[in-house]
Amino acid sequence: MLERGEVANSWRRERWDSLRLLTPNWQSRLPGLRYEGPDPDGYMTAGEVTEFIERFAKVSGAPVRVGVNVTSVRRVGDGYHVTTSRGEIHARAVVIASGACNQPAVPRLSDAVPASVEQLTPFGYRGPAQLPDGGVLVVGASATGVQLAAELRRSGRPVTLSVGEHVRLPRTYRRRDVLWWMDASGVWDQRYDEVEDLTRARRLPSPQLAGTPERTTLDLNALASTGVELVGRWAAVRDGRALFSGGLRNMFSLADLKMERLLDTFDEWAKTDGYDAAAGPPERFAPTRVPESARLQLDLRSGEIRAVVWATGFRPDYGWLDVPVVDAKGHLNHEGGVVDSPGLYALGLPVLRRRRSTFMCGIEDDAREVIGHLARFLAVRGRS
């Protein structure tokens, strides 16, 4: 196992200070290691996640070699030639577990933002104190965007949140964490070959969830009630002005509708599983409030906005992979983690084999199946 940094590198280096997992502690489980502390319904801090993964590295006896950067993987003969910062390796099979979120995905229009406005990504952001005083425009309303907007607003700054497609979820539903419902109802176990539109499922933004000790819901209504101004998707910059799409009403109703469908699925499952009586009555939530007049543009030269925080998602980095298996959009071509090149495998990508694939609790089942395929591949090769 080659790791360019330290064990749990992404959790040490690429997360902001206040981040907690949005998955509850009882869902932090890796093969042979699960959370056994006093607060199963709490949410780990990034430091606790680092410790958890470090412990796993020890308990599992994984042969990790840290400080080894892989700079190239090429197909040579019946295997792969791997070039690293510490030498060359020939491998008959390679598993790509380099992560789904290696770099922030920032749209091109960021180039047109006036230089007087500071720009940050979640990789550079540590906390509000780092930003200049004054207004902040947070772009993106998925898990990262809503969490950073809330934190920046609490620091006393005026915050504008640019909202594109998003996934609304309540933190708790019928007395349980909403991710308990995802787990128990089997929604998270839906397999990649059963998902209707797999490409879309793999690009779905993360849910609007935060892991706070109070287990509060952090949807757009909650943010608006703290004074966060909601605007539409950032479409262009013209003459120093940020231009936002209209149509917030439609976007909000779509997210509300999808949330309700998901809650219907939970309710149906509860009935058939006999859980209904214990769970308390089904709940429904107020529709997302549409601002009376959402601004369609904002002058970035006026001084109103001093910083832009890009919470527009993350993307993997395959710059080191010299095998033609990455499409024009930078996504790996694979079928359930079996990459389109003999002996090449992947783990830890969105909906790799199940909806839960990118979450820590998703790796065990995916790894068993992918490594099963790898073992059969090596066995067949060994006989030939």
Ligand X SMILES: Cc1cc2nc3c(=O)[nH]c(=O)nc-3n(C[C@H](O)[C@H](O)[C@H](O)COP(=O)(O)OP(=O)(O)OC[C@H]3O[C@@H](n4cnc5c(N)ncnc54)[C@H](O)[C@@H]3O)c2cc1C
Closest distance of CB 237 from ligand X, Å: 26
CB-based burial label for 93 (10 Å; 0-12, 13-18, 19+): middle
Q: Point out which span in 92-100, 212-220, 244-252, 364-372 binds ligand X (CB under 6 A).
A: 92-100
Closest distance of CB 26 from ligand X, Å: 12
149 scored as a contact of ligand X (CB under 6 A): no
Closest distance of CB 295 from ligand X, Å: 28
Q: Point out which span in 8-16, 163-171, 269-277, 335-343 binds ligand X (CB under 6 A).
A: 8-16
Which CB sits closer to ligand X, 54 or 118?
54
Q: Point out which span in 1-9, 253-261, 277-285, 295-303 binds ligand X (CB under 6 A).
A: 1-9
Q: Point out which span in 15-23, 131-139, 151-159, 227-235 binds ligand X (CB under 6 A).
A: 15-23
181 scored as a contact of ligand X (CB under 6 A): no
121 scored as a contact of ligand X (CB under 6 A): no
3 scored as a contact of ligand X (CB under 6 A): yes
Task: Report the C-alpha gap between 255 and 244 in whole angstroms.
Answer: 19
The binder of ligand X chosen from 192, 266, 314, 345 (CB under 6 A) = 314
Q: Which of residues 274-303 bind ligand X (CB under 6 A)?
A: none
207 scored as a contact of ligand X (CB under 6 A): no
User: Count residues contacting ligand X (CB under 6 A)?
Assistant: 24
123 scored as a contact of ligand X (CB under 6 A): no
Closest distance of CB 16 from ligand X, Å: 8
Which CB sits closer to ligand X, 102 or 221?
102
312 scored as a contact of ligand X (CB under 6 A): no
22 scored as a contact of ligand X (CB under 6 A): yes
The binder of ligand X chosen from 47, 99, 134, 158 (CB under 6 A) = 99
Neighbouring-strand partners of residue 138: 161, 309
User: What secondary structure, in 3-state letters, does the chain show?
Assistant: CEECCCCCHHHHHCCCCCCECCCCHHHCEECCEECCCCCCCCCCEHHHHHHHHHHHHHHHCCCCEECCCEEEEEEECCEEEEEECCEEEEECCEEECCCCCCEECCCHHHHHCCCCCEEECCCCCCCHHHCCCCEEEEECCCHHHHHHHHHHHHCCCCEEEECCCCECCCCEECCEEHHHHHHHCCHHHCECCCCCCHHHHHHCCCECCCCCCCCCCCCHHHHHHCCCEEECCEEEEECCEEEECCCHHHHHHHHHHHHHHHHHHHHHHHHHCCCHHHHCCCCCCCCCCCCCCCCCEEECCCCCEEEEEECCCEECCCCCECCCCECCCCCECEECCEECCCCEEECCCCCCCECCCCCHHHHHHHHHHHHHHHHHHHHHHHHC
Closest distance of CB 263 from ligand X, Å: 21
Task: Give the residue closest to ligand X by C-beta.
Answer: 99
360 scored as a contact of ligand X (CB under 6 A): yes
Q: What are the residues binding ligand X (CB under 6 A)?
A: 2-5, 9-10, 15, 21-23, 69-70, 97-99, 101-102, 144, 314, 320, 348, 358-360
